[in-house]
Chains A and B, each alone.
Chain A
Amino acid sequence: MADDKKINIVLAGQGNAGKSVVFNYLTGLHQHIGNWAGKTIEKKEGTLYYKGYTIDILDLPGIYSLNTYSEEEVVSREYIVRQKPEFVINIIDAVNLERNLIFTLQLLELECPVILVLNMMDLARKKGMSIDAGKLGYLLNTPVVPTVALRGTGITTIIDRVIELKDKKKRYHPPEYGKEIEKCISVLSEKLKDSRLPYPPRWMSIKLLEKDKDIVKLVKDYSRDIITEAEELGSDLEGIHGHDSSIVISDERSHLAAQITRAVVEISPRQKLTLNERLDFITTHKFLGYLLMTVILGGMFLTVFGFGNWLSARFDTLFGTWHEWWNSAFGASFASSLGWAAVESILALVQIAFPYILPFYVLLYILEDWGYMARISFLMDSLMHKMGIHGKGCISFIIGLGCNVPGCLSCRIMESRRERFITAVLVTLVPCSAVSVIVFGLVGKYVGILWALGLYLFAMIIIFLAGRLSSKFMKGEPVELIMHMPDYKTPHFKTIVSQTWEAIKEFIYIAAPIVIIAGVLIQAINLAGWMPVISDVLSPVTVNWLGLPAVTGILLIFGILRKELILVMLAAYLGTTSFGDVLTARQMITLAVVSMFYIPCVATISVLWKDYGWKRALAICISEIMFAILLAGFVSRLLSFVIL
């Protein structure tokens, strides 16, 4: 492959600027999502084949600055400096130009080749903003491409510019700050010129004045004199400006960003409240906001379960006669029983789990695209704070209600490791749709819907208490919520479809193999006659402490693979789905409680293992098993005093 036809670019920008839309548009199906080595940050890479060129694109995480506040920021700046991509495509939200420019200025300080993408031009126009892209490019000395990423407008122009500018060795002059600051910078740069450290001297000088811990340490190892000089210059700046030198630098950037914005943006005055403002008035209202949220989320769950029940019943009638057909086609032997077990497992998954997950994801992504998720974070932050995390954690919980796997994965949006971990642990306690199948299919159907809802309430209380406990256990200060509140926008059909499709695909890839294996295994154990043995071994716990039938032991073991298997296998083992004939109400509730809390499913465990290490994952599993069994035993005894 001719090297001159290969280009390496990187997408950088703040969250909410439309970076992912651009990335998906450019790379489509040629995407690979992995992890940055040793970190819990997603690494999104893809390839674009365009006009004979092969363009490798790396999508950096959405970040607000290039300091050391979060791992994402460190990973991003290290990548840009060390890997030296040919272009850094900075995607900017035109509506929030000033704020985004502060980041752009930091990017330009890194002296990498930047192409500015001015996205969401349509929204800017709707707000009455008119932006002179040419002037912006001139002031920043970088090419600017206006785009409307959601409509695909202008995205190929970005790549055209990349191709056009490739190999044109342009000298990138970063914009200049105030005179006194530039003087300090040049003094330090001169001294760092021959250091052969991997970063541009000017950038390092700025970082020294900003008292960036990593850079100070790096330069100190090279020469202590420079550090002393930097400190002196810093105090000089402090004397002039009255602020710590690090603040002075931030101020300069904000100042310059404001100046540039004023020069290129013209706003025509708006007369009345926009729809967005009116919507926000209600959705973040002190009382109405919470009421509305309950209505929206309640409606969401009613829709999910209503649709789920309907679709589930349709599959039930469809698959009803398949077992007989199978037996008549293949006879009844050991092998054909195993074969049927495999098929039945898939059918169970399709009939029991899928009908709920599909509508859940569709509604989730509609709400997210619309912008409502940020409002939920806003409304729930103070409650989450009492649990040791902040508002964004609530979103992970909501996702966890669908499936704990993406719920735990979504914890990566939290800034500190402590919060990521606490949120992930709490997510494993959230009843996922598999658990909901048990709650509704067993308790809801045979004991009463109020009991089923009561179990959810119970789960919420447990999660709250667990959160409070863990925030006392884990050292460290909770990080405060700092979040950009996006404007509401009409949900984009294609985005929702593709996100739902990705989520369903992930679910199938993770769940299907496990379910097939589990089904075949349990049938094999059954046919080999080992069931009684295993049941006996576990019976002190299952029968004596929990008051459940002996077969529960095996069910719970297989529930580790996929929680709905508890119900599915019970039906398979009993040969009937009329659970009411086999379990008492008290037993059903006890079984539901154990299922809810006892251990995350194997897919979730693998995420916990990957993100937090095997020791922590193991600790979570063991403590949750013990907790669930103890709790369920007490619940069972308590219930015997009530009415059951």
Chain B
Amino acid sequence: MDDNKDLKSLTEIRDGQLAVIVSVTGGKALTKRLADLGLRSGIMVRVLRSSLFSGPVQIELCGSRLVLGWGLASKIMVKER
């Protein structure tokens, strides 16, 4: 599918950018855990801040701010908006 070309992981999105979640690589348990927090495919998030040294990523979701560890964020595949 052509779309897959534009897929990036959340850690590759620049600060301030909007992105739409497409999928989560990793087990069903992880996907479910994220879904419970409101992080599911089709949802738009804004990356607020990433940090040095493969640190966590801050995102804005449904008006509130969430911090995700780098390993976790790298498994969330998004399309930039």
Contact = CB atoms under 8 A, between A and B. Distances in A.
Contacts of B64: 95-96, 98-99, 484
A268 B65 CA distance: 19
Contacts of A95: 63-64
Interface string B13-38: 00000000000000010011101111
Given A247-B31, A382-B51, A482 B70 contact: no
Given A69-B33, A250-B36, A480-B68, 11 more contacts: A64-B36, A96-B64, A98-B63, A247-B35, A286-B52, A381-B70, A382-B52, A382-B54, A383-B53, A481-B68, A485-B65
A480 B70 CA distance: 8
Interface residues of A, number: 45
A373 B11 CA distance: 23
Contact of A65 (B28, B36, B71, B72): B36
Interface string A534-547: 00000000000000
A102 B66 contact: no
B62 A482 contact: no
Interface in B28-81: 28, 31-33, 35-38, 40-41, 43, 48-49, 51-56, 58, 61-72
A379 B51 contact: yes
B36 A482 contact: no
B32 A381 contact: no
A503 interface: no
Given A98-B62, A382-B51, A481 B38 contact: no
A97 B61 CA distance: 12
B16 to A, nearest CB: 11
B67 A378 contact: yes
Contact of A482 (B49, B54, B65, B66): B66
A211 B31 CA distance: 13
A67 B67 contact: no
A224 to B, nearest CB: 22
A64 B38 CA distance: 11
Nearest to A478: B71
7 contacts: A96-B62, A99-B64, A211-B28, A247-B32, A253-B36, A257-B38, A286-B52
Interface string A102-121: 10000000000000000000
A246 B28 contact: yes
A244 B27 CA distance: 12
Nearest to B64: A96
A254 B65 contact: no
Interface string A51-73: 00000000000001101010000
A211 B70 CA distance: 27
A258 interface: yes
A99 B38 contact: yes
B67 A483 contact: yes
Contacts of B35: 246-247, 250-251, 254
B35 to A, nearest CB: 4
Nearest to A281: B49
Contacts of A484: 64-67
B65 A481 contact: no
A284 interface: yes
Closest 4 CB pairs of A and B: A250-B35, A480-B69, A481-B69, A96-B64
A586 interface: no
Contacts of A482: 33, 37, 66-69, 72
Contact of B66 (A257, A382, A483): A483
Contacts of A210: 32
A96 B63 contact: yes
A59 B31 CA distance: 29
A202 interface: no
Nearest to B75: A480
B67 A254 contact: no
Contacts of B66: 482-485
Nearest to B28: A244
Contacts of B41: 243
Contacts of B33: 69, 482
A382 B56 contact: yes
B72 A480 contact: yes
Nearest to B71: A480
A67 B37 CA distance: 12
Contacts of A247: 31-32, 35, 40
Contacts of B36: 64-65, 67, 102, 250, 253
A382 B62 contact: no
B32 A481 contact: no
Contacts of A391: 56, 67, 69
B37 A390 contact: no
B40 A250 contact: yes
B67 A64 contact: no
Contacts of A65: 36-37
Contacts of B68: 480-482
A247 B27 CA distance: 12
A77 interface: no
A284 B38 contact: no
Interface-centre pick from B41, B49, B65, B69 (highest chain A CB count, 10 A): B69
Nearest to B32: A246
Contacts of B71: 385, 480
Contacts of B65: 484-485
A480 B28 CA distance: 15
Contacts of A211: 28
B51 A286 contact: yes
B62 to A, nearest CB: 4
Contacts of B43: 254
A481 B56 contact: yes
B74 to A, nearest CB: 10
Given A251-B35, A480-B71, A379 B63 contact: no
A290 B68 CA distance: 18
A381 B62 contact: no
A366 to B, nearest CB: 22
B70 A382 contact: yes
B33 to A, nearest CB: 6
B44 to A, nearest CB: 12
A44 B37 CA distance: 26
Interface in A459-498: 480-485
Given A244-B28, A247-B31, A378 B56 contact: yes
Contacts of A69: 33
A287 B61 CA distance: 25
